[in-house]
Structure 1
Amino acid sequence: MKKKIIILGGGGHAKVVVDLIQRLDCFEVLGIVDIDKNKIGSSLLGINIIGSDEMLSEFSPKEVCLANGIGAVGSDSLHGKIFEKFSRMGYQFPVLCHPSAIVSSSVVMHEGVQIMAGSVVQAGVIVHKNAIINTRASVDHDCVIGSSVHIAPGVVLSGGVHIGANVHIGTGAVVIENIYIGESSLVGAGSVVICDVPSFVRVVGVPAKELI
């Protein structure tokens, strides 16, 4: 019997999550909820937006699991906050891994991790809860990805990179081997990171430098 699931958020990332879940064919999608009540009655890829977040109280955590369809942008994103809110209420978030992703059997993926189409995740990688490894990202051996991190499309992480919680690595960024990126920092799209990044900063450019 398929596990019942509800998707949180009705935007662009939710559309990608819907497509992923449909390809897995192991969940019964009951619908999508979104904080924007104007979206109620519309749909994404044939899945109806059935209400706002408040209606989840109608479903017991024993009856349904949740998928985080809210995209993560920046260190203070709703993606992390909504995961923590519903986790505290007892809801579970399954790991979602696209069939086209290449993921080593030694990779450790915690609750709510999403691995999107075409991504490559190599041996020894640890991905903590609620992290996104987005389309065609490459994560090499022994990287550690913190909770609620967003590795955006096309990012390349060389081996041994450690990323703290709530970090956003922008589209197409490159991080060389053994770099540490502190929590709640942001790496701009297309940047090349060649030295450690402190917590709570923004870095951009080639090579990446802190924005003052």
Structure 2
Amino acid sequence: MRRFRTGIAAIGLIAAPLAATPVAAQETDVAEALPADELAEAQAIINAIYPPGERDAIFTKMVNDIGGQFGAAAMQGPIFQEPGIRAIMDDFLSNLGERLMPTIQKHLPQIIDATAVAYVNKFSLEELQQIRAFSQTPAGSRYFRESPELLSDPAVAAANQRYFADITKLQGEAGSEIRVKVQQYLAENPDALKRIEEAMAEAN
């Protein structure tokens, strides 16, 4: 039974971080204080990397690629040798991009704006103009448009799977350590456990 619970925990370990995969944003109010010409150059560069009409497809594929690579590395152990469970996880990972797309679409405009701000903060106007000019050459255009595709290259996928395998192991070790400490704390502080239980009951 303990091994079964461990396997179920492993499934949760795979699903939880992937459900929050794509991106992190920052506040973009500062964009209003930035030079308009620099911001326009930065936005042109981002449009070269992620053409507005193709962004949903690009980000869906990126999430699916990452999910597949993470799953291939993390789905180890007897529970994942069970065909039915393996099929459930494969289906979850294969549809991860589509599952997350509503959330991606909600946050993507802010993420794009924040990235433009970051470009302006990092590069001078001259540098931004040079980058944009490069993005408009045949080589530059292909470079920017193909960059997200590199995630699915077999060499990158293999390297990512090795990385995810080690990360999964570390997550498991850290999770076990934290669980023991939390359980010990709650056992020593029953008032804290009562407060948590009451708060969770109110939330539900």
Check whether TM > 0.5: no
Query: Relative CO higher for 1 or 2, CA cutoff 8 Å, sep ≥ 6?
Result: 2
TM-score (structure 2 length as normaliser): 0.22
The structure that is strand-richer by fraction is: 1
The structure that is helix-richer by fraction is: 2
